[in-house]
Amino acid sequence: MDRDTKHNKAMAKQKAAVDDAISKADIEQGVSVLLTGDGKGKTSSAFGMVIRALGYGQRVGIVQFIKGAQPSGEETYVKNHLPDVTLYQMGTGFTWDTQDRAGDIAAAERTWEQARAMLEDVTYDLVVLDELTYMLAFDYLPEQDVIGALTSRPAGQSVVVTGRGGGQALREAMDTVSEVKEIKHAYRAGIMARQGVDY
């Protein structure tokens, strides 16, 4: 058996063991998930969970920090096909421009108010806070307020936070943390971002 096959089989066995351990857990409550790291797949994963939740008829709210200035496939799909999903985007109010720090903080705070309202609303089964970590990175939102709102949400509500970084306190506060590592990315070979995959 070559090295790859050996590694592959180990991975498959690990999957089976984890599936077994998961089936033995017995606390039933909403979960908090942080998808961080520099690799591709964080925002798309959050939107895959939206689809899962909708498959069970759950109510979903999405707040996108940073995004919204440029159209994306997920935004178009939600707007055209998912009228029951609440989608709020920070959009053009945000610049990353250190010359307009006050304007950016105001945009972050305005957006966070939407997120906080969802985290207090027991009718939401799943809340997605896409790219929230960058608001913590730039100290645009107070970390303790954000973590407090995440951890004091309704017991049955799940929440997904995406974005690079995020900090140790956020990692500790979340139930599940995945770090998406970039092993390689098509753009490094000159391949353009692709509609339907990258945005």
Find the shortest distance in angstroms from Cβ 137 to a copy of itself: 3
- Among candidates 115, 109, 108, 105, which has minimal Cα distance to 63? 115
Helix or strand or coil: residue 157? coil
110 versus 138: smaller Cβ distance to a copy of itself: 138
Find the shortest distance in angstroms from Cβ 35 to a copy of itself: 6
Q: Is 15 in the site for a copy of itself (CB under 8 A)?
A: yes
Contact indicator for 159, 129 with CB cutoff of 8 Å: yes
Which part of the chain contacts a copy of itself (CB under 8 A), choosing from 21-29, 97-105, 108-116, 145-153?
21-29
SS (H, E, C) 83-149: CCCEEEECHHHCCCCHHHHHHHHHHHHHHHHHHHHHHCCCCCCEEEEECCHHHHHCCCCCHHHHHHH
Q: Is 72 in the site for a copy of itself (CB under 8 A)?
A: yes
Among 129, 141, 158, 161, binds a copy of itself (CB under 8 A): 158
d(CA 143, CA 13): 39
Among 76, 95, 151, 152, binds a copy of itself (CB under 8 A): 76
Q: Is 54 in the site for a copy of itself (CB under 8 A)?
A: yes
113 versus 165: smaller Cβ distance to a copy of itself: 165
- Among candidates 43, 35, 49, which has minimal Cα distance to 171? 35
List, in sequence order, every residue forming a beta bridge with 159; answer none if it has no partner: 32, 127
Q: Is 25 in the site for a copy of itself (CB under 8 A)?
A: yes
**Contact pattern from residue 89 through residue 128 relative to a copy of itself, giving x for each residue in contact according to CB under 8 A and a dash for the rest:** -------x----------------------------xx--
Among 48, 100, 120, 145, binds a copy of itself (CB under 8 A): 48
- Count CB neighbours of 164 within 10 A: 16
Q: Is 154 in the site for a copy of itself (CB under 8 A)?
A: no
* Residues 161-180, interacting with a copy of itself (CB under 8 A): 163-169, 171, 174-180
